[in-house]
């Protein structure tokens, strides 16, 4: 099982940064480059790069590099999601799951909710 | 924070980001049984305990204010003096507020787990009929203020009307209603067409002189034009944001008064309250800081009931609201975070970034801000109210400003400028008599009736520069919101009889420079 299929959902207006899609499916290799590169070449199975298990921190960078359509600064800040964006892993606050260090599993459901439009 | 630098850039240099949760236990602190689902200010809760937790905080904040007089030792049944109005924006906390109101007070019959997903605290019969009549939900559409924004009124209507058995009456408003005489008379403000005169504002210099607008009352169709003229005359992006907030606030107040509301609920969360408080202080509204947490507004002109403005989510963070919405299947209305025209670097946007950063890394700090501001009281109690935002104002904001900034004033001038209306003269005669005098005498000014924050909002151009250049004529005839015109009709006349009109003398930039020379620091 070298490939992960993840259900990624966006709420609270964050979908505006992802072509207004509320739900997407992301396919990731279970092992990703240690240097966090996200290009196709680096994700090939036969790449010479050093590998690590794919974690949430990597998913955030992958979403930013590959799927975000505008204003990256509203999603990522200092290498992690910007303050004011909540992350749920299988319906549980990512703070209970080690945040960025959480190792992704196949069929995981990851939710990003923005609270920046408080009103 | 060591300085007044950009918190966005500096906070990470000063405060190391750290994990919020130490991972010692994942068991819910409440039921001590289930695996936790969410961390709220360092405590772990499961999904079933989360809903009652938020609902309890909501009720604990709201309910002591419901009965007209505070309860004695024994808790009486909840009976409000009037009806309920809810200000609704479609945003995250607003969504949660509406949902809590519906599920706590308007559910006709508790229906097991569906009425409060996973919750155990069902509405009791005694909590029905707390308010008189059908609660109103007021929404202010702001798209008129910005080009390229879409009208969300119907989206909002659908959200409000989705609740079973239509417990709410939906009242759509528009920002430009602030300048609309029909709206003003519909909320019982009075007939603006019969009003003796119409003031405009000369915003082209700091004295904020009132001018007489030739055409007394603009027809409804030009309310939008008036709004745009008003906003484009406001000097900075920060000021545009706070001006819009003030207009929304007063539109909600007057609509609530017209519906005989005793309570107006706003979806201000702990997080946004802290943002408002800090950004308000930064913009000069320190005098009214205690009001932001809790306030009561007596309508002017007098009608209806005093309206208690309650923020029942002021002990609930925006994170809790977002999670509530997500788990309850509610989707806040999509809206760009920084509407065009509301600059990313405006004071409130910067404050928001700072507070959100704090809440993520140091959640307790944010509630400390709100609590501390709730305790602030101004040394001098004030009966005066600002004519624009209706918040308590210090008498004569100019006196205050005179103490802290460089200004000078001529002596008060007796009233000769036509703002009192001698009963034996017709309007035409008055205008003939006063026209010549207006050439030589300074006109009345709006400044004495403004709070410090509103005065600063309207005059801060000297620091930041104009948002857009105004034609000289437009700058001199900036329209005023209906409530300002209405109150002016009364108070300007009264004050000029009392010969209290304070006229300000214009300072040239040379005057100012010579006065502050000794304080200037070489660059
Ligand atoms: Zn529990
Ligand atoms: Zn004011």
Give the integer Cα–Cα distance in Å for B67 and B130: 9
Distance from CA of A118 to the nearest CA of B (A): 5
Give SS3 for B502: coil
- The reported pLDDT for the residue numbered B493 is 61
Number of domains chain B is built from: 2
Mark yes or no for CB contact B323/A114 under 8 Å: no
pLDDT at B81: 92
What the block records as the tokens of B321 is: 């609201």
Which tens digit of pLDDT belongs to each residue from B4-31?
Answer: 445 454 444 444 455 556 666 899 999 9
Judge: A119–B332 Cβ closer than 8 Å, yes or no: yes
Residue B386 inside a domain? The answer is: yes
pLDDT band at residue B418 using 50, 70 and 90 as cut-offs: very low
- Residue % of chain B over a pLDDT of 90: 27
Measured from the Cβ of residue B17, the count of other Cβ atoms closer than 10 Å reads 15
A25 vs B449, more confident: A25
- Chain A residue numbers touching B318 (CB-CB < 8 A): 84, 115, 118
Question: In chain A, which residue's Cα lies nearest the Cα of B245?
Answer: A119
| Interval B421-459: pLDDT, tens | 555 556 665 555 444 444 444 567 888 888 888 888 888
Q: What share of chain B is helix, strand, coil (3-state, %, to 5)?
A: 45, 10, 45
CB within 8 Å: B267 and A98: no
Query: pLDDT value at position B383?
Result: 67
Q: Which domain holds residue B374?
A: 80-105+130-434+444-491
Q: Is the pLDDT of residue A59 over 80?
A: yes
Residues 6+ apart with CB under 8 A from B449: B386, B387, B388, B393, B487, B488, B491
For residue B50, the ligand closest to its alpha carbon is 1
What does DSSP assign to residue A98? T
pLDDT higher than threshold 70 for residue B354: no
Question: pLDDT value at position B504?
Answer: 42
- Report the C-alpha gap between A29 and A32 in whole angstroms: 6
- Check whether B347 has a pLDDT greater than 80: no
Distances (CA, A) of B56 to B59, B120, B232, B468: 5, 11, 44, 48
B347-355 average pLDDT score: 63
pLDDT band at B490 (very low <50, low <70, confident <90, very high): confident
Distance B201 CA to ligand 2 centre (A): 15
Residue with the larger pLDDT of the pair B479 and B100: B100
Q: Are A32 and A3 in contact (CB under 8 A)?
A: no
Tell me whether residue A51 is in a domain.
yes
- Shared domain for B453 and B311, answered yes or no, is yes
Give residue B328's pLDDT band: very low, low, confident or very high (50, 70, 90): very high
Q: Are residues B190 and B223 part of one domain?
A: yes
Average pLDDT over residues B163-172: 92
Q: What is the pLDDT of residues B112-165, one digit of tens each?
A: 444 444 444 444 443 568 999 999 999 999 888 877 778 889 999 999 999 988
B337–A98 CB contact, under 8 Å: no
Poorest-confidence range of B26-30, B63-67, B74-78, B424-428? B424-428
Picking from B483, B513, B510, the residue whose alpha carbon sits closest to that of residue B190 is: B483
State the pLDDT at residue B210.
80
Q: Crossing angle of helices B270-282/B363-375, nearest 10°?
A: 60
Cβ separation A95–B357 shorter than 8 A: no
Q: Is residue B208 part of a domain?
A: yes
Give the number of domains in chain A.
1
Distance from CA of B38 to the nearest CA of A (A): 5
Model ipTM? 0.94
- Whether residues B453 and B481 fall in one domain: yes
Query: In the predicted model, is pLDDT for residue B229 greater than 50?
Result: yes
Q: B32 near B18, Cβ under 8 Å?
A: no
* Bridge partners, A51 (sequence order): A33
Confidence of residue B340 (pLDDT cuts 50, 70, 90): very low
pLDDT in the model for residue B38? 96
Residue B180 has what pLDDT?
92
Whether residue B121 lies inside any domain: the answer is no
**CA-based nearest residue in chain A for residue B321:** A115
Q: Are residues B100 and B214 in the same domain?
A: yes
Q: Which residues of A touch B334 (CB under 8 A)?
A: 13, 15-16, 20
Buried-exposed string B444-453: b where 16+ CB fall within 10 A, e elsewhere: bbbbbbbbbb
Q: Is residue B6 a part of any domain in this protein?
A: no
Cβ atoms of residues A63 and A75 within 8 Å: yes
- Banded model confidence at residue B258, pLDDT cuts 50, 70, 90: very high
Tell me the nearest-neighbour CA distance from B483 into chain A, angstroms.
25
For chains A and B, CB pairs below 8 A equal: 102
Cα dihedral angle (A5, A6, A7, A13), rounded to 10 degrees? -140
SS3 (DSSP) at B392: strand
Which CATH number do you get for residue B311?
3.40.50.620
Q: Which of B149, B330, B334 to mutate to test the interface with A (most CBs of A within 10 A)?
A: B334
Same domain, B245 and B302: yes
Tokens of A114: 């923005």
Nearest to B310 by CA among B275, B382, B239, B261: B261
**By mean pLDDT, which of A25-29, A97-101, B84-88, B240-244 is the weakest?**
B240-244
Predicted pLDDT of residue B231? 87
Provide the pLDDT for residue B27: 94
Q: Which residues of A touch B (CB under 8 A)?
A: 11-13, 15-16, 20, 74, 78, 82-84, 86, 88, 91-93, 95-96, 98-99, 111, 113-119
Given pLDDT bands bounded at 50, 70 and 90, which one contains residue B337? very low
Per-residue confidence (pLDDT) for residue A114, from 0 to 100: 86
Instruction: Note whether residue A21 is domain-resident.
Output: yes
Maximum alpha-carbon separation in chain A: 49
CA B94 vs CA A114, B88, B249, B311: distances in Å: 14, 6, 14, 10
3-class secondary structure per residue, B91-121: CHHHHHHHHHHHHHHCCCCCCHHHCCCCCCC
Same structural domain, B414 and B476: yes
Q: Which domain holds residue A22?
A: 3-114
Q: What percent of chain B has pLDDT over 70?
A: 53
CATH classification of the domain holding A50: 3.10.20.30
Residues B33 and B147 in one domain: no
In tens, the pLDDT along A99-111 reads: 999 999 999 999 9
**B55 and B88, same domain (yes or no):** no
Q: Are residues B352 and B465 in the same domain?
A: yes
> In the 8-state DSSP scheme, what is residue B416?
-
Do both B43 and B178 map to the same domain? Answer: no
3-state secondary structure of B331: coil
Is the same domain home to B414 and B471? yes
Are B40 and B189 contained in the same domain?
A: no
In a domain? residue B144: yes
Average pLDDT, rounded, for chain B: 73
Q: Indicate if the pLDDT at residue B517 is higher than 70.
A: no
CA B405 and chain centroid, separation: 26
pLDDT computed for residue B160 by the predictor:
95
Considering only residues B209 and B155, tell me which one the structure prediction assigns the higher pLDDT: B155
User: What confidence score (pLDDT) does residue A14 get?
Assistant: 86
Q: Does some domain include residue B412? A: yes
Q: What is the pLDDT of residues A84-101, one digit of tens each?
A: 899 999 999 999 999 999
Tell me the per-residue pLDDT of B276-312, one tens digit each, with 9 for 90 and over: 666 666 666 555 555 555 688 999 888 989 999 998 9
Is residue A119 in a domain? no
The set of residues, in sequence order, having a beta carbon less than 8 Å from that of B352 and lying 6+ positions away, is A116, A118, B275, B279
The nearest alpha carbon in chain A to B357 belongs to A83
What pLDDT score does B51 carry? 97
Q: State the alpha helices, DSSP H only, in B15-145.
A: 47-62, 92-105
Residue of B196 and B309 predicted with greater confidence: B309
pLDDT for B174 beyond 80: yes
Give the closest-approach CA distance of A23 to chain B in angstroms. Answer: 14
| Chain-chain contact of A78 with B359 (C-beta, under 8 angstroms) | no
Highest mean pLDDT out of A75-84, B54-63, B225-234? B54-63
Q: Does B377 map to a domain?
A: yes
Identify whether B277 is part of a domain. Answer: yes
Residue B122 has a pLDDT of: 46
Structure token digits, residue B480 = 């005023």
Backbone φ, ψ for residue B318 (5° rounding): -65, -25
Q: Higher model confidence: residue B292 or residue B49? A: B49
């Amino acid at each position: 099982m070298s490939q992960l299929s993840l259900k990624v959902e966006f709420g609270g207006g964050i979908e505006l940064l992802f072509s207004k899609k509320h739900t997407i499916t992301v396919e990731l290799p279970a092992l990703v480059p240690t240097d966090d590169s996200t290009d196709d070449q680096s994700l090939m199975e036969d790449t010479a790069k050093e590998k690590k298990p794919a974690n949430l921190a990597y998913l955030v960078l992958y979403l930013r590099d590959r799927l975000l359509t505008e204003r990256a600064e509203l999603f990522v800040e200092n290498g992690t999601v910007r303050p004011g964006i909540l992350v749920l892993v299988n319906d549980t606050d990512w703070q209970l799951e080690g945040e960025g260090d959480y190792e992704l599993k196949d069929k995981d459901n990851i939710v990003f909710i923005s609270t920046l439009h408080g009103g | 924070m060591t300085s007044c630098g950009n918190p966005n850039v500096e906070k990470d240099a000063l405060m190391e980001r750290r994990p919020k949760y130490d991972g010692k236990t994942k068991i819910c602190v409440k039921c001590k049984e289930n695996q936790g689902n969410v961390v709220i200010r360092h405590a772990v809760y499961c999904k079933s305990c989360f809903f009652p937790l938020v609902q309890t905080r909501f009720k604990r904040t709201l309910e002591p204010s419901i009965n007209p007089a505070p309860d004695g030792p024994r808790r009486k049944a909840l009976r409000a003096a009037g009806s309920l109005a809810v200000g609704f924006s479609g945003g995250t906390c607003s969504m949660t507020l509406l949902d809590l109101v519906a599920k706590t007070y308007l559910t006709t019959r508790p229906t097991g787990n569906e009425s409060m997903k996973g919750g155990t605290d069902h509405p009791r019969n005694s909590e029905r009929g707390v308010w008189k009549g059908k609660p109103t939900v007021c929404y202010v559409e702001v798209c008129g203020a910005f080009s390229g924004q879409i009208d969300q009124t119907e989206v909002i209507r659908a959200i409000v009307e989705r609740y079973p058995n239509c417990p709410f009456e939906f009242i759509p408003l528009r920002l430009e209603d602030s300048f609309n005489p029909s709206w003003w008379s519909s909320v019982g403000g009075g007939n603006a067409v019969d009003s003796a005169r119409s003031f405009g504002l000369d915003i082209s210099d700091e004295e904020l002189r009132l001018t007489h607008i030739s055409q007394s009352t603009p027809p409804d169709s030009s309310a939008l034009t008036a709004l745009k003229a008003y906003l484009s005359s406001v000097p900075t992006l920060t000021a545009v944001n706070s001006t819009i907030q003030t207009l929304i606030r007063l539109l909600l107040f007057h609509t609530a008064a017209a519906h005989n509301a005793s309570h107006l609920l706003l979806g201000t969360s702990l997080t946004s309250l802290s943002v408002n408080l800090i950004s308000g202080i930064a913009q000069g509204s320190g005098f009214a800081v205690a009001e932001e947490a809790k306030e009561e507004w007596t309508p002017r002109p007098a009608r209806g009931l005093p309206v208690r403005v309650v923020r029942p989510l002021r002990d609930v963070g925006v994170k809790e609201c977002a999670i509530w919405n997500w788990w309850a299947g509610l989707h806040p209305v999509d809206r760009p975070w920084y509407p065009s025209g509301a600059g990313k670097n405006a004071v409130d946007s910067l404050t928001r970034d700072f507070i959100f950063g704090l809440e993520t890394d140091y959640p307790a700090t944010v509630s400390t801000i709100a609590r501390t501001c709730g305790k602030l009281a101004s040394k001098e109690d004030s009966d005066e109210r600002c004519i624009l935002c209706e918040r308590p104002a210090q008498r004569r904001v100019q006196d205050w400003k005179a103490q802290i900034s460089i200004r000078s004033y001529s002596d008060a001038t007796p009233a000769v400028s036509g703002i009192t209306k001698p009963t034996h003269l017709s309007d035409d005669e008055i205008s003939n008599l006063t026209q010549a005098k207006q050439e030589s005498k300074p006109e009345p000014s709006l400044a004495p009736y403004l709070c410090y924050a509103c005065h600063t909002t309207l005059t801060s151009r000297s620091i930041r520069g104009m948002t857009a250049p105004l034609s000289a004529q437009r700058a001199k005839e900036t329209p005023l919101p209906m409530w300002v015109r209405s109150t002016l009709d009364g108070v300007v006349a009264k004050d000029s009889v009392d010969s209290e009109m304070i006229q300000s003398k214009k300072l040239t930039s040379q005057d100012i420079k010579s006065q502050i020379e000794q304080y200037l620091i070489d660059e």
